[in-house]
């Protein structure tokens, strides 16, 4: 009787242990399932993560460049083109081959090759790139019915969520690492050119992971891995990813035909509210961004905000640093009307602020000097909000600025961003004045300019 009972129990248990071949392949949905295996999730996501090989040709800089004594004598020394190769990762976002990666992986590349995890290769071109955000959108040539990852709204991500990082670290091949979301709203902490707002994760990220995917447990893209915080060069468990909300705006602008990313213009300068400022302003807890300066054409000024007000939130999302505020405006997008909460004279206020591009008023009147000019190739423009934003000039700057020094102007010390004030004592008022004033001043020329707020004087002979 006992033997029959044991035999019956064994028979009852056997159907529960299905053969591996019959096991259901699906994304794990519960904590218990996740703790067992990430295999179904990895199989679903990895086909949409690609390896990127980029090649760019750069001119090597002469070690004597800028030297007043040897600069002209050895200007051609070391000027031979050099080939630079970079390795990184990317994520396919649509079946027609739209790929997101980091700008530092593919920016200014002359040849981009994308390899899928099944070995298929595609040539790619950059549709839109932005060095400041360290993002680039690519298009795979001839791609159809590609595997892709859906975007999840990164504002719904919470600290503690399980995530996977997928990429090609050190060129060893596609690799998956796991971790959690360690922090949100990290600004000013990433390395490289990226400045903004990041998701922090402890999922191991190493060189070559740049541009790879950070996904949630349902296989949705929440960010693109961009950098790590490290002293040794290896992963210390502090990695940063660009949120998917910003990636979505990049894809939208790339599909609209933009080649450069357009951010809404704030027209203000600001600073984080620390404990001392919070106490002096009567705010209680230190949060928000104090408006230190406003351009008359700023959309915030047009909406009624003033210098000394504290911006607390944009579209109900808190902002505590200027990069956070610019990120929130970028996510909102041009043409959107953002709901801004702020403090004015200690009282909470709400305003609708239109997200606009930096205005071209007055007109920039761009000029590039011809081949027979004293400084051929020198490009100039009148300063307006758009020009000031492009060249990172002071908010209320005015005058004529060097937008591109060309080939010859650097030899006399002129740089991009220099604001020309006078040539041989005669005021520079418009870009068109410069060519005439240089010709009339030759052969001994003195240029007075402002550089970073400091006055500089350049003297040379033609």
**Active site members:** 104, 134, 210
What's CA 186's distance to the chain center, in Å?
14
In a 13 Å sphere around the CA of 255, the CA atoms on its Cβ side amount to: 13
Residue 400 near residue 417 (C-beta atoms within 8 A): no
Give the pairing of strands 197-201 and 213-215: unpaired
CA gap 395, 307 in Å, rounded:
13
250/168 Cα distance (integer angstroms): 23
Q: Rounded distance, CA 57 to CA 25, Å?
A: 46
Q: Is the dihedral of CA 98, 99, 103, 109 positive or negative?
A: negative
Q: Do strands 347-354 and 426-427 pair parallel, antiparallel, or not at all (unpaired)?
A: unpaired
- Give one DSSP letter per residue of 281-346, joined into a string: HT-SS--SEEEEEE-TT-HHHHTT--TT-EEEEETTEE--SHHHHHHHHHHH-TT-EEEEEEEETT
**C-alpha to C-alpha distance for 202 and 241, rounded to whole angstroms:** 11
CA dihedral 175, 181, 183, 188 (to 10 degrees): 30
Q: How many CB atoms lie within 10 A of CB 232?
A: 6
* Distance (Å, whole) CA 417 – CA 380: 10
Closest by alpha carbon to 402, among 377, 381, 386? 381
Rounded to an integer, what distance in angstroms lies between the CA atom of residue 161 and that of residue 249?
Answer: 24
Closest to 85 (Cα-Cα) out of 49, 117, 40, 51: 51
Give dist(CA 171, CA 53) in Å, integer: 10
Contacts of 189 (CB under 8 A, 6+ apart): 198, 200, 229, 240
Question: Distance between CA atoms of 94 and 85, rounded to whole angstroms?
Answer: 27
């Amino acid at each position: 009787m006992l033997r029959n009972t044991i035999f019956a129990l064994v028979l009852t248990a056997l159907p529960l242990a299905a053969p591996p071949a019959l096991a259901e392949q699906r994304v794990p949905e519960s904590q218990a399932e996740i703790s067992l295996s990430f295999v179904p999730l990895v199989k679903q996501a990895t086909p949409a993560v690609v390896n990127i090989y980029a090649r760019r040709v750069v001119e090597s800089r002469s070690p004597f460049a800028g030297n007043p004594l040897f600069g002209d004598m050895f200007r051609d020394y070391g000027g031979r083109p050099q080939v630079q190769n970079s390795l990184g990762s990317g994520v396919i976002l649509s079946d027609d081959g739209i790929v997101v990666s980091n700008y530092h992986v593919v920016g200014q590349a002359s040849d981009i090759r994308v390899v899928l995890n099944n070995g298929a290769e595609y040539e790619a071109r950059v549709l839109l790139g932005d060095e400041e955000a360290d993002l680039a959108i690519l298009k795979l040539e001839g791609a159809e019915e590609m595997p892709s990852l859906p975007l999840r709204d990164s504002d719904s991500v919470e600290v503690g969520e399980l995530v996977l990082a997928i990429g090609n670290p050190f060129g060893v091949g596609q690799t998956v690492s796991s971790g959690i979301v360690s922090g949100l709203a990290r600004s000013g902490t990433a390395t490289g050119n990226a400045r903004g707002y990041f998701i922090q994760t402890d999922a191991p990220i190493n060189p070559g992971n740049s541009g790879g995917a950070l996904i949630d447990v349902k296989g949705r893209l929440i960010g693109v891995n961009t950098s790590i915080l490290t002293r040794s060069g290896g992963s210390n468990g502090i990695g940063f990813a660009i949120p998917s909300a910003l990636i979505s705006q990049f894809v939208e602008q790339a599909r609209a035909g933009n080649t450069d990313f357009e951010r809404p213009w704030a027209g203000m300068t600001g600073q984080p509210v620390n404990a001392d400022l919070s106490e002096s302003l009567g705010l209680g807890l230190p949060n928000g961004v104090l408006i230190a300066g406003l351009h008359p054409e700023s959309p915030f000024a047009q909406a009624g905000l003033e210098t000394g007000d504290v911006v607390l939130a944009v579209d109900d999302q808190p902002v505590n640093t200027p990069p956070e505020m610019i990120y929130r405006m970028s996510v909102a997008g041009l043409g959107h009307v953002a709901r801004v909460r702020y403090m004015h004279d200690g009282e909470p206020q709400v305003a609708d602020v239109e997200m606009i591009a930096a205005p071209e008023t007055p007109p920039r009147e761009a000029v590039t000097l011809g081949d027979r000019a004293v400084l051929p190739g020198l490009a100039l423009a009148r300063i307006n909000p758009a020009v000031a934003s492009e060249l990172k000039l002071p908010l209320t700057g005015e005058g004529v600025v060097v937008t591109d020094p060309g080939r010859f102007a650097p030899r006399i010390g002129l740089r991009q961003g220099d604001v020309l004030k006078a040539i041989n004592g005669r005021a520079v008022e418009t870009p068109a004045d410069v060519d005439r004033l240089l010709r009339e001043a030759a052969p001994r020329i003195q240029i007075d300019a402002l550089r970073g707020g400091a006055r500089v004087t350049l003297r040379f002979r033609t």
